[in-house]
């Protein structure tokens, strides 16, 4: 009957996102009068698994097997579905990130369980089970009723505060019985970013738009990001022009992010751009056009030329750190 939460194994560790998920699951379990079980796939140390207990998981299941070394959507979805059935879980929670989006729909079909994707708060109602869901790329929200007996929720990143609980967790190790023939993904190469803040994980993001005028003007923006421990991002025209790599493109068709602070430099704030950043807790806009729509989304604004404002901002952050 427990709430099942998929805590993704990231090279044997968890990201903060997993603790957000467990905290959310724990709050939901309280509403439902039940407990939280986590499932992690792939080798994970006991000490790492026990960390989940600090956020309210009462059981951490670790499934391992030779055929589960890399993400295969079909095999992973079967593992999670089987555990949900064994645990009698009525709610399954995943992150609304790449792997959560890959697995949730497959689990949905296996268990005939409706999905509420990209939820940002606890259910509005338990009967009927109603969630608050982002739609129209952030221009509207829906109260979505999930009619099935089992429900799947994918939680938007950085939308739920981690909350510590008294620790009381048991670990369960499971050797997967997944047949290798179910695994069809053949990974030939893996590249991981190193030494820089990953955009989708970042709590602060500094982003540049066409108002930056040319790719040579990026150093002060990158310096500001470095000083703030922030990731760098950009608007679509900037990535289309090849000024910055397309991984940095935030917006409707690029990455959708929800940092605590989003600093938009020389970005006018087209609807499509705002669709990717409107869930940020705070938006700061720096733009030379005082009528730019970005100022309608921002809490703090500076009207001015990015090239003149950025160096002063860098100085101000350096002074703050002294």
Partner 1 sequence: MKILVCISNVPDTTTKIRFAEGNRAIDTTGIQWVINPWDELSLTRALELRDDPSNGIKSVTVAHVGNADSEPTIRKALAIGADDAVRVNAGSSDAYFVALQLAEVIRKEQFDIIMCGIESSDFNGSAVGGMIAESLGIGSVSAVSGLSISNNQPVMTREIDGGREVVAMTAPMVAIVQKGIAKEPRIAAMRGIMMARTKQIRVYEPVPAEPLTEVQVFEKPAPRAACRFIEPDNPAQLIDLLQNEAKVI
Positions 11 through 40 that interact with partner 1 (CB under 8 A): 15
User: Which of residues 103, 169, 233, 277 is near partner 1 by CB under 8 A?
Assistant: 103
Q: How far is CA 290 from CA 241, 251, 312, in A?
A: 25, 21, 19
Task: Decide if residue 97 touches partner 1 (CB under 8 A).
Answer: yes
Name the residue nearer to partner 1 (CB basis): 91 or 169: 91
Task: Decide if residue 225 touches partner 1 (CB under 8 A).
Answer: no
State in angstroms the smallest separation of the CB of 173 from partner 1.
Answer: 25
State in angstroms the smallest separation of the CB of 276 from partner 1.
Answer: 11
State in angstroms the smallest separation of the CB of 65 from partner 1.
Answer: 18
User: Which of residues 43, 161, 289, 315 is near partner 1 by CB under 8 A?
Assistant: 315
Task: Decide if residue 253 touches partner 1 (CB under 8 A).
Answer: yes
Name the residue nearer to partner 1 (CB basis): 163 or 171: 163
- How far, in Å, CA of 78 to CA of 73, rounded? 8
Q: Which range binds partner 1 by CB under 8 A, 29-37, 158-166, 207-215, 248-256? A: 248-256
Q: Which helix (H) or strand (E) holds 111?
A: helix 98-111
| Subset of 268-297 contacting partner 1 (CB under 8 A) | 270-272, 275, 278, 281-282, 284-285, 295-297
User: Quick one: DSSP state of residue 267?
Assistant: -
| Subset of 187-216 contacting partner 1 (CB under 8 A) | 187-193, 198, 200-201, 203-204
Can you tell me which residue has the tokens 């399954």? Answer: 92
| Subset of 110-169 contacting partner 1 (CB under 8 A) | 110, 112-118, 130, 133-148, 154
Q: Which range binds partner 1 by CB under 8 A, 25-33, 37-45, 84-92, 298-306? A: 298-306
Q: How far is CA 266 from CA 19, 72, 127, 158, 270, in A?
A: 34, 40, 46, 25, 12
State in angstroms the smallest separation of the CB of 88 from partner 1.
Answer: 19
- How far, in Å, CA of 313 to CA of 302, rounded? 11
Q: Which range binds partner 1 by CB under 8 A, 39-47, 60-68, 205-213, 253-261? A: 253-261
Q: Helices 306-321 and 219-228: crossing angle, nearest 10°? A: 30
State in angstroms the smallest separation of the CB of 172 from partner 1.
Answer: 26
| Cβ(98)–Cβ(10) below 8 Å | no
Pair of tokens at residue 223: 């310096």
- How far, in Å, CA of 98 to CA of 96, rounded? 7
Q: How far is CA 193 from CA 78, 175, 198, in A?
A: 29, 31, 7
Q: Which range binds partner 1 by CB under 8 A, 25-33, 164-172, 209-217, 254-262? A: 254-262
Pair of tokens at residue 227: 């000083």
Q: How far is CA 190 from CA 107, 149, 186, 320, in A?
A: 25, 38, 11, 39
Task: Decide if residue 67 touches partner 1 (CB under 8 A).
Answer: no
């Amino acid at each position: 009957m427990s709430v099942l939460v998929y805590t993704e194994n990231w090279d044997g560790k968890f990201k903060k996102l997993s603790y957000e998920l467990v905290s959310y699951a724990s709050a939901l379990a309280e509403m439902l009068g039940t407990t939280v079980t986590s499932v992690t796939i792939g080798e994970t140390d006991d000490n790492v698994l026990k960390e989940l207990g600090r956020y309210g998981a009462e059981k951490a299941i670790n499934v391992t097997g030779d055929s589960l070394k890399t993400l295969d959507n079909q095999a992973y979805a079967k593992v999670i579905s089987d555990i949900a059935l064994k645990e009698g879980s009525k709610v399954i929670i995943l992150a609304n990130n790449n792997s959560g989006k890959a697995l949730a729909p497959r689990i949905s079909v296996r268990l005939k369980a409706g999905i509420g994707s990209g939820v940002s708060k606890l259910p509005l109602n338990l009967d009927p089970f109603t969630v608050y869901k982002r739609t129209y790329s952030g221009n509207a929200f829906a109260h979505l009723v999930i009619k099935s007996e089992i429900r799947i929720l994918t939680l938007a990143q950085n939308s739920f505060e981690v909350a510590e609980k008294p620790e009381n967790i048991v670990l369960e190790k499971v050797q997967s019985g997944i047949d290798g023939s179910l695994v069809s993904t053949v990974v030939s190469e893996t590249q991981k970013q190193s030494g820089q803040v990953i955009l989708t994980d970042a709590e602060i993001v500094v982003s540049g738009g066409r108002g930056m005028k040319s790719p040579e003007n990026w150093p002060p923006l990158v310096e500001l990001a470095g000083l703030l421990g922030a990731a760098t991002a950009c608007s679509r025209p900037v990535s289309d022009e090849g000024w910055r790599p397309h991984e940095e493109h935030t917006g409707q068709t690029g990455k959708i992010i929800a940092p605590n602070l989003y600093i938009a430099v020389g970005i006018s704030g087209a609807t499509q751009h705002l669709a990717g950043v409107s869930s940020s807790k705070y938006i700061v806009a720096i733009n030379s056009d005082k009528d730019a729509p970005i100022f309608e989304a921002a809490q703090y604004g500076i009207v001015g030329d990015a090239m003149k404002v950025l160096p002063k901002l860098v100085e101000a952050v350096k002074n703050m750190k002294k």
